[in-house]
Amino acid sequence: MQYSQTHLRSRPISAGHLRAFEAVARHLNFRAAAEEMALTQSAVSRQIQSLEEEVGVGLFLRHTRAVELTSAGAQLLLAVQQSLPRIDGAVRQIRQSAGRKSVSLTTFASFASMWLIPRLEAFQRDNPDIDIRIDASDVAMDLEMADVDIALRYGPASHMPPGAVRLFGETLTPVASPWLIKSSPPIRKPADIVSFTLIEAGDAHRSHLEWLTWRRWFETAGLTREQPPRWLYFNYAYQMVQAALTGQGLVLARSSLIAESLANGDLVEVLPQHRMDSPMAYWLLVGPRSAQRPEIKAFRDWLQAQAAVTRETIGEVPDPDTVDFID
């Protein structure tokens, strides 16, 4: 079947046609697709023909007893298989949340696992009528465009947009499980650390997080070219801390994310006098379309109250010029 350029159109194609196309492409059979969609075979065939006219090329090779995707059909199927489930998922969430108050937020996985989620139960207990949706992703979302109310981000002040609220900063400190320390030679000075397995982010030396590395800590302590007996690399901070909790080595941890583990004795600082300052901090951003909703205000206020507790726990002295807003 041939299609001329006159058949090409610029307007969006029908979603119904795409569902028929996906069903036929999955079954490679018009009859099976029609049965699944509770339509007649001729109705499905007409939808596919209309879609081919809209696209401007054939999407199937029609044989006597079967159909086969063309290269254009395979290309379209890949996009449809990625898009339709996301649309269906969004519709399900909208239906489920209709008439309900909800807060959607985005943050990176380690912060969600180590700081946010352990505290959420308290908010939910006090606010049982507010649903929370967390998107744990390292990709920064545009709050003016994305369907997200709040973003919790990590970075230096210079990388934050106007209106970002500083939650707390951090220092870096070597930590380990107490039983690993008890079963090993004592650590009295920085050089003693190199006799242990050291845990680190696998991509830290190739990214903007190089100041979180053991190499930088050794340089700050006046040591160079130190090598432990073994390195243990992970992708995320919570994985590194989990390895330290199970006694697999020492990790240069972020004080604000392990404050509770230090307080309850699950981790211990091995050289507290050798903490290293970090230029990074944790920030709260509220989407402009969401800021006035009561549930957003409630969650924002709760986050700031929790952040104040963390600042006190890690001994951070607030800077009145930066603790609230970036000028």
Q: Specify the domain boundaries for CATH 3.40.190.290 within the chain.
A: 101-327
- Residue pair 18/85 in contact (Cβ under 8 Å)? The answer is no
The torsion region of residue 252 among left (phi > 0), alpha (psi -120 to 50) and beta comes to beta
- Could you tell me what percent of the chain has a pLDDT over 90? 54
Q: Is the pTM of this model over 0.85?
A: no
Q: Give me the pLDDT at residue 2, please.
A: 52
Which pLDDT score, from 0 to 100, does residue 88 have? 76
Three-state DSSP class for residue 70: coil
CA 198 vs CA 228, 233, 244: distances in Å: 7, 9, 9
Condensed to tens digits (0 to 9), the pLDDT of residues 21-78 reads 999 999 999 989 888 888 889 999 999 999 998 888 999 999 887 899 999 999 999 9
CATH code given to domain 5-97: 1.10.10.10
pLDDT digits (tens, 9 = 90+) for 157-204: 998 988 899 999 999 999 999 999 999 999 999 999 999 999 998 876
The H or E element spanning position 104 is strand 101-107
Q: What is the pLDDT of residue 235?
A: 87
The Cβ-side half-sphere exposure at 62, using a 13 Å CA radius, reads: 9
Say which residues have a Cβ less than 8 Å from residue 232's Cβ, sequence separation at least 6: 197, 198, 199, 200, 243, 248, 249
Q: How far apart are CA 220 and CA 233, in angstroms?
A: 22
pLDDT of the residue at 98: 62
Strands 231-234 and 67-69: unpaired
pLDDT at residue 303 above 90?
yes
Q: Are 267 and 245 in contact (CB under 8 A)?
A: yes
Contact 171, 276 (CB under 8 A): yes
Q: Is the pLDDT of residue 288 over 70?
A: yes
Q: Domain 101-327: give its CATH code.
A: 3.40.190.290
Alpha carbon distance, N-terminus to C-terminus of the chain: 63
Confidence check: pLDDT of 14 > 80: no
Side-chain-side CA neighbours of residue 134 (13 Å): 14
Predicted pLDDT of residue 323: 44
Mean pLDDT computed over 6-26: 76
Residues of the chain with CATH 1.10.10.10: 5-97
pLDDT at residue 270 is higher than 90: yes
Q: What is the pLDDT at residue 212?
A: 84
* pLDDT band at residue 206 using 50, 70 and 90 as cut-offs: low
What is d(CA 113, CA 111) in angstroms, rounded to the nearest whole number? 5
- Least confident residue range of 10-24, 168-182, 254-268: 10-24
Band of the pLDDT at 1, cuts 50, 70, 90? low
What confidence score (pLDDT) does residue 327 get? 32
Mean pLDDT of 263-284: 93
- Using CA atoms, how far residue 83 sits from 37, 76, 78, 79, in Å, is 18, 11, 9, 6
What would the mean pLDDT of 245-250 be, rounded to a whole number? 96
Q: Which long-range contacts (CB under 8 A, 24 or more apart) does 248-251 make?
A: 248/197, 248/199, 249/176, 249/180, 249/196, 249/197, 249/198, 249/199, 250/174, 250/175, 250/176, 250/193, 250/196, 250/197, 250/198, 250/199, 251/174, 251/175, 251/176, 251/198, 251/199, 251/200
φ and ψ at 231, to 5 degrees?
A: -105, 150
- Of 187, 159, 163, 160, the C-alpha closest to 174 is 187
